Structure formats: C-alpha cells, structure tokens
Structure 1
C-alpha cells in the first residue's frame, strides 16, 4: 500500500480506535475519524487541531444505516472528488458486561448484533463504491467470537455478534475480491481499554501498532482470514 493513505476509523473517540487514529496520523496518513458524538470527542478534536486538514471528525452510529449513508455523502467532500478510501477500519463495538445464562437480555443481544456485526457489514457495503481498488478492510473481531476456542459460557451477546462478524468478513471478502479489496477479521487481544479493563494484557498502543503491521502485510491470498495482532491465525 502507498505510504500516505486515506483511512476511515470507526469508534475512533476512545480505546484502540483513538490509538489507531494517533498512529495513522503519525505515519502521515489522512484520517476520517468517525464516532457517535463528535462534539464530545475531546481527544479527537484536540488531534484535529494538531493535524489541520489531515484529520476530519465525522458522526457515525454503527447501528443506524441512515448515518452510514450520510457519511458516504460527506466523504467525497473530505477526500476530494477523486479521493478513495485505502483502508477502512471497522472498530466500533460494544460489550454488555454482567451477563449470565437465564438472564441474557434480548435487547442486549439485538444491540450487540447491530453494533458488532450488522454495523460493519452494512457500512462496508455502503462505502464499497468509495473504496479504492486494492483497498483493505479490517474488522475488529475477538477470540471470544471463535466457536472452536469457546470453553465456557461468557459474554454471550458479544461472542455471538463477533462470530457473526467473522462470517460477514468472509462474505465481504468474496463480494469484493474482483476489485482486489482484502477483507480480514482481526483479534486485538485482551486490551487495556474501557471495554477490556485495567487488568488486560495488551496496551492499546501495542495492539494498534501490531494490527497496522498486519494490514500492511496482507495480500489478496489473505482475504477472508481471521488473525491476531501478531499475525497468527485464529481458529474459527
């Protein structure tokens, strides 16, 4: 991929999404950082002030296809008429904590699915005309979405939705293959973010840097794969 890219990061206001944004800007990329409430994204807006013209903060609700369409209309104004996205990072996600068998809430399951699986799938579909041929799409999945690695009952709505995201990744890889667009699912590991908690194993900076290294190195043969932040294959 070229040294300077047009990149869209969803869920960019905190955690790994914010770290992706910082590191991409440091590399010289032009970044569109999307989140639900840009006016409250203090860190993002501070970065935008430090990188005028290279960071644009735009609204997006992963669960609301209407906002996907609005973002698609806004992007050409930001990227320029000839601009195309070289990298789409579907990072926005949600984890409902404290779930136990017998008390799993239907609303939580619906919200998790719409945010973690339907959101990335529908957004990628909407933005497909704006993706450059040969672009990359990285879907932030999780080892908790691996059916083969499941050994206990835990985080059910998150796990179910991430397993669905893995299937969405494979389907998108097939749909976009004729344009040379590579779509992969990645596991960032257990990361010290608001979602992962203070006891998590991986620093956000390390996870983001590792995942960016992986997306830089993938080829068309890798499309549809599920890998971790260090490049190791994750069982489905």
Structure 2
C-alpha cells in the first residue's frame, strides 16, 4: 500500500473544506484542517476523535500574514511534510450593487481569496514534498471570458486574481514537480451556494479529488472544473 498522503485543508470547519477533510480521512490520509476559530468548529473537532493520530486542527486566518507565519512554525509539530495542499478558505460578500461597493469588501476579498492562498503557499513551500499537489478552489465567477453580468465584484475580482496566483505558483514550483491547479467546484449546496444548488458537497469533493489524483505535471497551472474540463480564463 502507498504511504498515506500528508494533507492540509484550509477553511475545514464547514462546507467543501470539511468535506475534503472527511473524504481524505476516509481514504486513510493524514489531514491537518485549519480554520479561524477551532473552538467554534465542533464537527471538525469530532473528526479528531474519530481519526486519532491522523486528524489535526490548527488555527489559521489566511487573510492575516501573522497567522500564516504562526501556522508555518507549528506545522512540523503535526506533519513532517506536505503532499497535498487544498486552498479552500474563501469569502463572498453578497448583495453588492454598482455604485455602493465598499472598499472594505474588496480589500477583505482580495486578502482572503487571492493574496492569502499565495502567501500561505509561499510560507509552506519548504515543507512541500517533491511532486506534491496544490489545489485552490476558484469559481466560474473568476473567469473573465465567461462574464455575463455585473455581480458580486469583490468576489469575482479576487477569484480572477486567485487564478493568476495559480498560474504563477505553477511556474515557481515547476522545477520540483509540484502540480498547481485552480478548481471550479461547481454550484454546490453550501452556505455560499445555497440549498437549491445542483451538487452536494460530497459529490463535488469526490469529483475534485479524482481530478487532483489524475493531474500530472502537464496540467500544472490549469483552470479545471470538478469534472476535469478546462474552464476559460
């Protein structure tokens, strides 16, 4: 049997992040789940008891560089390296209207959705194993080519920036054989996607894990959906 992968999932307290942690644990992997307030994440902490020795939880606010630095210092205490990094943590400020979009929304979205994943990956890069994989959850709303209407600009702008982060990280880490992907999870039944979405978290995550498993060096830097199909930039 292959050795279990050492995985880190950001925003693991709910939604797709929690489902990534759960399915990776079911596969037999070692998982470090992060969120801003672990003490307020009972379901995530339950996984620690359910999978002793393979599930760990640490605090992380991806929008805060000091929090990223602290996680990088603490990581070796629970994992001796990383084979898979899931940049899942994100924020969406709903209800934005042109003419009244607050600058704070734009700043918060950029820090959480774009610069946060970049700075976290940069800080953890020394811990990434050769041939490791990085998947950052993006969105079709971050696709300039598929833009159809004015909607949630702080989210759309930050996700477009995050897609560039993926392309840049793919170049920076190519010599080590590390595969970096931007993944569109589809319309999923989460707090962000709503109850009428077409995919359950389990369906979306299961499909994305297959895409991650199948991805090779030639796929690094690509923007793919949960089925493995290319998404226009």
Shorter-chain TM range is: over 0.9
Counterpart residue number, 2:160: 163
Q: CA deviation at 1:3?
A: 5.3
Q: CA deviation at 1:34?
A: 0.4
> Unpaired segments of 5 or more residues in structure 1?
none
- Paired with 1:200 and 1:19, the residues of 2 have a C-alpha distance of 16
Q: How do 1:142-161 and structure 2 match up within 5 A?
A: 142-161=139-158
RMSD: 0.7
- Paired with 1:15 and 1:187, the residues of 2 have a C-alpha distance of 15
- Paired with 1:65 and 1:214, the residues of 2 have a C-alpha distance of 30
Counterpart residue number, 1:97: 94
Counterpart residue number, 1:28: 28
- Paired with 1:114 and 1:35, the residues of 2 have a C-alpha distance of 15
Q: CA deviation at 1:65?
A: 0.9
Q: Provide Cα deviations, 1:94-151, integer angstroms capped at 9, x if missing partner.
A: 0000001111110001000000000000000000000001100000000000000001
- Paired with 1:72 and 1:212, the residues of 2 have a C-alpha distance of 25
Match of 2:206 among 186, 205, 209: 209
Counterpart residue number, 2:133: 136
> Unpaired segments of 5 or more residues in structure 2?
none
So what's the TM-score if we normalise by structure 2? Answer: 0.98
Counterpart residue number, 2:119: 122
Q: CA deviation at 1:69?
A: 1.0
So what's the TM-score if we normalise by structure 1? Answer: 0.97
- Return structure 1 stretches of 4+ with deviation > 6 angstroms: none
Residue 231, structure 1, aligned to residue 228, structure 2 = yes
- Paired with 2:202 and 2:3, the residues of 1 have a C-alpha distance of 20
Q: CA deviation at 1:177?
A: 0.3
